[in-house]
Amino acid sequence: MKKISSTSIAALLLVVFATGIVTGQTRKAGINSAAFLKVGVGAKQVGMGSAVTSMNGDVTNMFWNPAGVAMNNEKAQVSFTYNSWIGGLTQNAFAGAYQMEGIGTIGVGVMTFGMTGIPADRDVYPGNAVLQALQIDQGTASTYDYMDLLAQVTYSTYVMDRLALGASVKLISEKIDDMNATAVGFDLGSVYNIGLLNWNIGARISNLGSDVKFYDYASPIPLTFSMGTSMTPIRIGESAVTFAVDAVKPQDGQQYYYTGMEYNFNNMIFLRGGWKMNYSYLGLAGDGIDEGTSQRLGVRTSLEKGSLGAGVRVPMAEYMLSVDYSYTVFTSFSDVHRITLHVSMK
């Protein structure tokens, strides 16, 4: 068993201290920039309702909990995710990690989010030099692009046989037309395996960092704290059922509870489902309208209705190929489809 270094203890204390940072915040909807960081990465993860704080051994987890990247029995992993998001937006993500003996797991991740060719409705004042000089929008093209970028480096290691700690350093960029802004963020996380029933507990603090500033207005990136647990209470031969629950507190939202389940048939076929309590409207046939009060009529409180997913794992000599798919139901927008290709090397 490895000794826990002072650095490891400090990391754990930071994660615990983060509880006070986030839960002490007054709910202020819409105060955050870089909202694309809230969009889940990975068909497997989203298929389980995003209840993945305590999950480990998957390179795509670097976009959730950096401690979940740590590998024991594999040498390297890579994954590619494509997400057809709402409103014509697309998300593309790459994650790669390599296990360095005696050092830990080093990973890199890149995620893009946005769309191109948006018609530009510009305010122009031809022939009026005074107004043209005061004009903020100096673009001239008939269309413009919106593109967000995340690039990160992740490190994770087992400081004890069952305790993994991790951290990520992130560069965040937002670009709209000819204007752009950047920020730096940090993630910290931990995952501990109790042993019985493959029971894991985990915690993470995401997006500690600088503000994104456009012109003279700066707003924080979406600081979030999460604690979660998962276990596999049913196991028959190579088949198993796993349950997971997360308690998630974003800086600009109320307390959410994410739940997920995965059925694994012979380590080859996977079926998943997930729901976000206090976030998604209960009832796939419902419209997400609350009951209202004596002072107002009911208002729409939710857009997302839950996620379903499936996956196939195919062994190939020294490699393992996995393909995962998830489907998320929305009320007012088109439904969302994600697909992830994952390759691991023993």
Tens digits of per-residue pLDDT, 277-303?
Answer: 877 655 444 455 556 667 767 666 567
- 133 Cβ partners below 8 Å, 6+ apart? none
Task: Find out whether 319 and 289 touch, Cβ atoms under 8 Å.
Answer: no
Sequence-separated (6 or more) residues with CB below 8 Å from residue 188: 11, 14, 15, 18, 66, 166, 167, 204, 205, 208
Closest CA to 144 of 187, 175, 177: 177
Residue-wise pLDDT for 152-192, tens only, equals 999 999 998 899 999 999 999 999 888 899 999 999 999 99
The range of the structural domain enclosing residue 63 comes to 6-114+145-345
Q: What are phi and psi of 12, to 5 degrees?
A: -65, -40
CATH number at residue 64: 2.40.160.60
85 located within any domain: yes
Distance of CA 319 to the CA centre of its chain: 26
Does residue 46 belong to any structural domain of this protein? yes
pLDDT at 32: 84
Decide if 284 is inside a domain.
yes
pLDDT, position 308 = 96
Asked whether residue 203 is domain-assigned, the answer is yes
> What's this model's pTM, rounded to 2 decimal places?
0.85
What sections of the chain are H helices per DSSP?
Answer: 6-23, 43-47, 129-134
Put residue 47 in one of left, alpha, beta given phi > 0 → left and psi -120 to 50 → alpha: alpha
Position 124 scores a pLDDT of 65
State which residues of the chain have pLDDT below 70. 1-30, 123-127, 132, 137-138, 280-293, 296, 298-302
User: How many structural domains are present in the chain?
Assistant: 1
Q: What is the pLDDT of residue 288?
A: 54
123 inside domain? no
pLDDT of residue 95: 98
Beta-carbon count within 10 A of 284 CB = 9
DSSP 302: -
Q: Is residue 191, in this structure, part of any structural domain at all?
A: yes
49: left (phi over 0), alpha (psi -120 to 50) or beta: left
The predicted pLDDT at position 292 comes to 63
DSSP 149-162: EEEEEEEEEESSSS
Token pair in block for residue 197? 């029933």
How many CB atoms are closer than 10 A to CB 89?
16
